[in-house]
Amino acid sequence: MLEYSENNEYKATDSRYKILRKITDDTDTSYLETQNQRFVPNDPGDTYYKVGHAEANRLDIVANTCYGNYTLWWAIALANEIIDPFSVPEGSILRIPSLTSLYSIKNQILTR
């Protein structure tokens, strides 16, 4: 039987995982529940970025270049439906969602 509980590990952080519940199975192994896929709609403030040689397979470098924050790599992955962030070849054109669209009430991708 699975037991659901609060995920206290991330509660005091700005982590996107803080909204997920902790699941414990019969063997006392704990997991975080699967996060629902979020859709990042197009926004007039979105920009596009062509992945160069130095950024190939490194969304964290792209996020740092575009946002000044490498931890927002996942927002670029969501907006571009990238499953494997280590498989982004040189020459790829990525949609970079505007920060305002990520913080919007409608999307609730980033919450504080």
Q: What is the 3-state secondary structure (H, E, C) of 77-97?
A: HHHCCCCCCCCCCCCCEEEEC
At residue 42, what are phi and psi to the nearest 5 degrees?
A: -65, 145
CB 70 within 8 A of CB 60: yes
**pLDDT confidence of residue 92:** 96
Q: Per the structure block, which two tokens stand in for 13?
A: 């952080």
HSE of 44 in the Cβ direction (CA atoms, 13 Å)? 0
**pLDDT confidence of residue 112:** 43
**pLDDT confidence of residue 105:** 47
Coil/strand/helix, residue 23:
strand
Kindly give the confidence (pLDDT) of every residue in the chain, 112 residues in length, as a single tens digit, with 9 standing for 90 and above: 778 777 777 777 766 677 778 888 888 888 777 766 667 888 899 999 999 999 998 999 999 999 999 999 989 998 998 877 888 999 999 999 998 887 764 545 555 4
